[in-house]
């Protein structure tokens, strides 16, 4: 029987890139060792907020992400709390060698923030759509990888990243994200949040897809299905305990992300499930393709990243679960 629960209210919110810029400026006021590098995109990444207040601690590196990463690594090695920022597609792809050699290998205390992630960047097209960034960042040994769902989580995770001793990649988006959390809520590296309780299936989502997971759970509830919703904002390290509990208690997991399904959050969750408590799984994400140019809403709909698609994946998983005689 589906438990009675209050309706989860999604409110309009700001883009996570904007929340990042606001949090960064606040950090700058509190800590004179915070320094910021940007690759000629400060108005888009919102590091311009920091630059306006602290021009002596802001370094515009031009359209040169690889150099920017090396400069940031040098500043971090000198004891600064250093942030570097650009579009995810640029900082991860153009700067990958430097991220590997000058940041990951020596485990430099650098914070890398990629904005305009996923395909929801919209009309700018596939050359600027980052659909591989989670995979690339997770492949770097010693990296922490974070993907907040809304502005509250973003601001909290910027602070968590700054306090952490080691390299961190924070994934932000261009479009406004629905407000899920209340101001002042806390988020820890390696954690997750259970937003909706459920007993028959778990939807594990990250970033923009958390809101779609909530909407999908409400659709399923109307059909008599009890769906749990997890916000896996910490991609690396994962909240293994929450994943194992979901596998054991619900027997089916759907992973939803704005990333290639072949290499993102779904792969990491599947690894955890395979090691601990195998269960039925389905995956919602970008299916081995690059997207076209279009509005964010058109693209998310066309490439199967909305609540309708999450709910459909849940129905497939439930059919498989019941076919296998699992409860």
Q: What is the pLDDT of residues 138-182, one digit of tens each?
A: 999 999 999 999 999 999 999 999 999 999 999 999 999 999 999
pLDDT exceeds cutoff 60 at 135: yes
pLDDT in tens, 253-282: 999 999 999 999 999 999 999 999 999 999
What pLDDT is recorded for position 6? 53
Contact assessment for residue 177 and residue 13, using Cβ atoms and an 8 Å cutoff: yes
Q: What's the alpha-carbon Rg for the chain, to the nearest Å?
A: 19
- Tell the CATH topology of 193-323: Rossmann fold (3.40.50)
pTM value?
A: 0.96
Instruction: Give pLDDT, residue 324.
Output: 76
Residue 65 appears among annotated catalytic residues = yes
Task: Give the pLDDT of residue 9.
Answer: 80
Quick one: what percent of the chain has pLDDT higher than 70? Answer: 97
Q: Which pLDDT score is estimated for 67?
A: 97
Q: Where are the beta strands (DSSP E) in the chain?
A: 34-38, 58-60, 81-87, 110-115, 144-146, 168-171, 193-196, 201-205, 227-231, 234-236, 252-260, 280-286
pLDDT of residue 37: 98
Domain residue limits, the chain: 16-171, 193-323
Give me the chain's average pLDDT, please.
96
Query: Is residue 3 very low, low, confident or very high in pLDDT (cuts 50, 70, 90)?
Result: very low
pLDDT, residue 1, reads 33
Q: Is the pLDDT of residue 114 over 50?
A: yes
Q: Is residue 50 scored above 70 in pLDDT? A: yes
Looking at the chain, the whole-number percentage of residues with pLDDT higher than 90 is 94
User: Of the candidates 236, 259, 86, which has an alpha carbon nearest to the alpha carbon of residue 164?
Assistant: 236
Q: Taking the chain, what is the end-to-end CA distance rounded to the nearest angstrom?
A: 13
3-state secondary structure of 66: helix
DSSP string computed for 228-287: EEEE--EEES--HHHHHHHHHHHSEEEEEEEEETTTSHHHHHHHHHHHH---EEEEEEE-
Query: Residue 204 in contact with residue 230, Cβ under 8 Å?
Result: yes
Q: Average of pLDDT values for 125-146?
A: 97
pLDDT of residue 4: 43
Question: For 16-171, which CATH class?
Answer: alpha beta
User: How many whole angstroms separate alpha carbon 63 and alpha carbon 69?
Assistant: 12
Say yes or no to pLDDT of 127 above 60. yes
Distances in Å between the Cα of 36 and the Cα atoms of 65, 137, 183, 285 are 13, 20, 25, 32
Q: What is the pLDDT of residue 303?
A: 98
> How much is the average pLDDT of 201-210?
98
Tell me whether domains 16-171 and 193-323 share a fold: yes
Residues 280-313 pLDDT 10s: 999 999 999 999 999 999 999 999 999 999 999 9
Question: φ and ψ at 208, to 5 degrees?
Answer: -60, -25
pLDDT confidence bin for 323, thresholds 50/70/90: confident
Out of 18, 65, 257, 282, the active site residue is: 65
């Amino acid at each position: 029987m589906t438990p009675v629960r209050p309706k989860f209210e999604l409110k309009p919110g700001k883009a996570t890139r904007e929340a990042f810029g606001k949090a960064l400026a606040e950090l700058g006021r509190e800590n004179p060792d915070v320094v910021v590098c940007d690759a000629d995109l400060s108005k888009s990444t919102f590091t311009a907020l920091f630059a306006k207040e602290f021009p002596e601690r802001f370094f515009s590196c031009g359209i040169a992400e690889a150099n920017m990463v090396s400069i940031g690594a040098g500043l971090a090695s000198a004891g600064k709390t250093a942030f570097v920022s650009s579009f995810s597609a640029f900082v991860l792809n153009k700067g990958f060698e430097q991220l590997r050699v000058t940041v990951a290998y020596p485990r430099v205390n650098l914070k890398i923030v990629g904005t305009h992630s996923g395909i929801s960047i919209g009309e700018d097209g596939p050359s600027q759509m980052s659909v591989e960034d989670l995979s690339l960042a997770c492949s770097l040994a010693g990296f922490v990888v974070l993907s907040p769902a809304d502005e509250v989580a973003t601001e909290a995770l910027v602070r968590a990243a700054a306090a952490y001793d080691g390299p961190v990649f924070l994934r932000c988006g261009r479009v406004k994200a629905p407000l899920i959390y209340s101001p002042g809520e806390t988020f820890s590296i390696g954690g997750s949040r259970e937003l909706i309780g459920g007993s028959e299936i778990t939807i594990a989502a990250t970033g923009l897809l958390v809101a779609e997971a909530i909407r999908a759970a409400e659709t399923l509830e109307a059909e008599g299905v009890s769906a749990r919703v997890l916000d896996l904002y910490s991609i690396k390290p994962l909240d293994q305990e929450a994943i194992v509990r979901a596998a054991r208690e619900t027997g089916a997991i759907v992973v939803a992300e704005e990333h290639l399904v072949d290499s993102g959050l779904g792969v990491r969750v599947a690894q955890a499930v395979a090691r601990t408590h195998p269960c039925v799984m389905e995956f919602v994400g970008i299916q081995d393709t690059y997207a076209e140019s279009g509005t964010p809403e058109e693209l998310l709909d066309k490439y199967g990243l909305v609540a309708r698609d999450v709910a459909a994946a849940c129905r497939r998983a439930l059919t498989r679960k019941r076919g296998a005689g699992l409860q």
